[in-house]
Amino acid sequence: MTARCLIAGNWKMNGTLAEALSFADGLTALSNDGSSGVEVALMPPYTLLHSLRSVLADKGVQLGAQNVYTECNGAYTGSISTAMLKDAGCKYVILGHSERRNTIGEGNALIRRKLDAVWAEGLVPILCIGELLEERESNHTNDVLKAQLSILTAADADKPLVVAYEPVWAIGTGKTATPEQVVETHAFVHEVLVDLGADRQVLYGGSVNGSNAQQLLHSAGVDGALVGGASLQAASFMQIIEAAK
Ligand code: PGA
């Protein structure tokens, strides 16, 4: 059963083994029975997946990865496959994060191939979408989000998928979208998803922290959060989890 709300921590390129173990130590164990309606997941760098698997499971936290390659195995130096992520205990895989779209140049066609690879292994993709500041300012937000979601088809409707709306100008900047922008944009994203065959959980991401989580997470159409900076410390991550309950 999918929880009402998913709080996912994206560590990006941060975290040593010592930091990760101390983080896990600082987490209060979450009930696994779904009674709180909140599911928690952590996406550390690949190097920490195996080490965190059982400590996070003991705390009721799911494991995920920040990216994956399209192929199962073979001569792809430096890449990680969905089978490897499954073997490491992952449930979720983030795809299309803005840092991969905008810094590394990943486009829709590659992200679609990754989606298929993730589904083929039985994992759950968290597909990130979001507009740049100039796109919002020139009133192109909806067009951009629609184009990023256009990799989905009606044939995907029965496959598991979480969408994360992350305005690029809010990521790591300390700026969040206003409550009106969040409600309006999430309503649009849900509408596009329904048109594409199935509504999905839609997370908000972009400078979510212990102080703004309550308002963001209880806004209409928000089904959780994808958290970067504030997921690096157990105390601030716990504040967000508490706000979701
Ligand atoms: P942030 O990152 O919370 O540090 O803004 C969010 C993300 O990139 O997923």
- Is 208 touching ligand 1 by the criterion CB < 6 Å? yes
- Is 128 touching ligand 1 by the criterion CB < 6 Å? no
Q: Which atom of ligand 1 is nearest to the CA of 227?
A: 3
The whole-number pLDDT of residue 123 equals 98
CATH architecture of 5-244: Alpha-Beta Barrel (3.20)
Report helix, strand and coil shares of the chain as percent, to nearest 5: 40, 15, 40
234-240 average pLDDT score:
97
228-241 average pLDDT score:
97
The whole-number pLDDT of residue 186 equals 98
Least confident of 21-35, 185-199, 214-228: 21-35
Query: CA-to-CA distance for 12 and 107, rounded, in angstroms?
Result: 19
Decide if pLDDT at 81 tops 90: yes
> Can 180 be counted among the known catalytic residues?
no
pTM value? Answer: 0.97
- Is 207 touching ligand 1 by the criterion CB < 6 Å? yes
- 159: tokens are 């496959």
- pLDDT tens for each residue of 103-152: 999 999 999 999 999 999 999 999 999 999 999 999 999 999 999 999 99
Cβ pair 129, 97 in contact under 8 A: no
3-state secondary structure (DSSP) of residue 174? coil
Among 174, 152, 102, 105, which Cα is nearest to 131's? 102
The whole-number pLDDT of residue 36 equals 80
- pLDDT tens for each residue of 43-69: 999 999 999 999 999 999 999 999 999
237-243 average pLDDT score:
97
Q: Which atom of ligand 1 is nearest to the CA of 173?
A: 5
Ligand 1 pocket test: which of 132, 226, 239, 240 has the largest number of ligand atoms within 8 Å of its C-beta?
226
Q: Where are the domains of the chain?
A: 5-244
Decide if pLDDT at 35 tops 90: no
**Mean pLDDT score of the chain:** 96
Query: CA-to-CA distance for 223 and 11, rounded, in angstroms?
Result: 20
Query: CA-to-CA distance for 147 and 131, rounded, in angstroms?
Result: 11
Q: Which atom of ligand 1 is nearest to the CA of 229?
A: 4
Confidence band of 32 (pLDDT split at 50, 70, 90): low
3-32 average pLDDT score:
93
The whole-number pLDDT of residue 1 equals 40
The whole-number pLDDT of residue 33 equals 62
Q: Which ranges constitute the DSSP H helices of 138-178? A: 141-149
- 48: tokens are 């920490």
Nearest-CA residue for ligand 1 atom 6 is 228
- 187: tokens are 């309503």
Cβ pair 167, 153 in contact under 8 A: no
